[in-house]
C-alpha cells in the first residue's frame, strides 16, 4: 500500500470520488427518463471538440465543453420540435459526432498520444489545480441534484403532470442536459471518453435493483459511483500497472 504515501494518489482519489458521487445520480435521472444513451452520444461529440481543439491548436477541453453542452441542448430541441424518437436523435448525434471527430483528427494529423489521453484518460496524471477544480465542480453538481432532486424525479416520471403542476419543465431538462454534458467532458480526463458513460449509468442501474425508494436509489447510486472510482485506483501490486478508468468501469459492471 505504498501508493497511499504519494500525493498524486490523494488528488486522484478526491477528484475521482467526487466524480462518482455526482455522475451516478445524474445517470439515475437519465435512466428513469429512458435516456441512458445520452452520455454515450455526448462522448462522441466531446471527441469532436477535442479534435477541433487539436486542429485549431486551442484548448481541447474548453472546446469540447462548449460543443458538448450545445449538442445536448440541440438534441432536446430536436426531440420536442420534430417528434423524433429519443433513441433516434441520440443515435444520429453519436454517429455524427464520431464521424466529425475522425475527420478533424485527420486534418489535425493528431493520431498520437494527445488524442489517446482523452480516449482512455488517466486520473493519476491530474495536477493539483485540475483535481481541486474538478472536485469542486463535481460537488457543486451533487448539491444541485440534491436540491432539485424531487423536481427532477417528477419530470423524469411524468413530464406532463409536472408541467401541469407549474414546474419549469424545460428549464429543468436543460439543466439536466447541461450537467450531463459537463460531467462527460470533465470525466474524460479521468476515465476516458470510451468509458465515462458507463460510470454515469451502471451505478444508477445497480441502485435501482436494490433500493426501496427513489430517495434511497439516489443515495445508493452516489455510493456505488464513488466506490467504483475509488476501487479503480487500487492496484494489487506496484509492479502491476492498471488504468484506473477501465478498472472502475469493470467494478461497476460486476456490482450490477
SS3 state of residue 110: coil
Q: What is the pTM of this model?
A: 0.86
Question: In this predicted model, what pLDDT tens digit does every residue of 188-213 receive, in sequence order?
Answer: 888 888 788 888 888 888 888 888 88
Residues contacting residue 129 through CB under 8 Å, at least 6 positions apart:
none
Count of domains for the chain = 1
Q: Which residue segment(s) compose the domain that 21 sits in? A: 2-255
Question: In this predicted model, what pLDDT tens digit does every residue of 97-145 receive, in sequence order?
Answer: 888 888 888 887 766 667 777 887 777 777 777 777 888 888 888 889 8
Question: In this predicted model, what pLDDT tens digit does every residue of 28-83 receive, in sequence order?
Answer: 999 988 888 899 889 999 999 988 888 888 788 889 999 999 998 888 888 777 76
Place of cell 477535442: 50
| Cα 61 to Cα 114, 186, 231, 232, 251, distances in angstroms | 12, 8, 26, 23, 27
The helix or strand, by DSSP H or E, that contains position 93, with its residue range, turns out to be helix 86-108
Under the banding of pLDDT at 50, 70 and 90, the label for residue 179 is very high
Measured at the CA of 171, the angle between CA 145 and CA 33, to 5 degrees, comes to 60
Measure the CA–CA gap between 95 and 77, rounded to whole angstroms. 18
- At 213, give phi and psi (nearest 5°): -155, 165
Nearest Cα to Cα of residue 144 among 185, 170, 180, 196: 180
- What is the residue-averaged pLDDT of the chain? 81
C-alpha cell at 70: 450545445
Measure CA 44 to chain center: 12
CATH of the domain at 62: 1.10.3470.10
Amino acid at each position: 500500500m505504498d501508493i497511499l504515501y504519494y500525493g498524486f494518489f490523494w488528488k486522484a482519489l478526491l477528484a475521482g470520488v467526487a466524480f462518482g458521487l455526482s455522475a451516478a445520480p445524474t445517470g439515475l435521472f437519465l435512466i428513469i427518463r429512458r435516456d441512458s444513451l445520452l452520455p454515450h452520444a455526448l462522448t462522441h461529440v466531446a471527441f469532436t471538440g477535442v479534435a477541433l481543439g487539436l486542429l485549431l491548436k486551442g484548448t481541447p477541453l474548453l472546446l469540447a465543453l462548449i460543443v458538448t453542452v450545445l449538442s445536448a441542448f440541440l438534441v432536446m430541441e430536436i426531440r420536442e420540435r420534430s417528434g423524433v424518437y429519443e433513441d433516434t436523435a441520440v443515435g444520429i448525434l453519436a454517429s455524427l459526432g464520431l464521424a466529425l471527430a475522425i475527420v478533424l483528427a485527420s486534418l489535425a494529423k493528431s493520431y498520437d498520444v494527445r488524442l489517446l489521453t482523452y480516449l482512455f484518460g488517466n486520473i493519476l496524471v491530474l495536477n493539483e489545480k485540475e483535481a481541486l477544480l474538478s472536485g469542486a465542480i463535481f460537488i457543486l453538481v451533487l448539491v444541485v441534484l440534491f436540491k432539485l432532486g424531487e423536481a427532477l424525479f417528477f419530470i423524469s416520471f411524468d413530464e406532463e403532470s409536472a408541467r401541469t403542476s407549474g414546474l419549469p419543465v424545460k428549464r429543468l431538462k436543460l439543466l439536466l442536459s447541461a450537467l450531463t454534458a459537463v460531467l462527460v467532458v470533465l470525466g474524460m480526463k479521468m476515465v476516458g471518453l470510451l468509458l465515462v458513460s458507463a460510470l454515469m449509468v451502471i451505478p444508477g442501474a445497480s441502485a435501482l435493483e436494490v433500493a426501496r425508494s427513489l430517495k434511497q436509489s439516489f443515495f445508493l447510486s452516489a455510493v456505488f459511483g464513488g466506490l467504483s472510482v475509488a476501487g479503480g485506483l487500487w492496484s494489487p501490486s506496484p509492479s502491476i500497472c492498471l488504468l484506473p478508468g477501465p478498472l472502475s468501469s469493470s467494478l461497476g459492471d460486476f456490482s450490477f
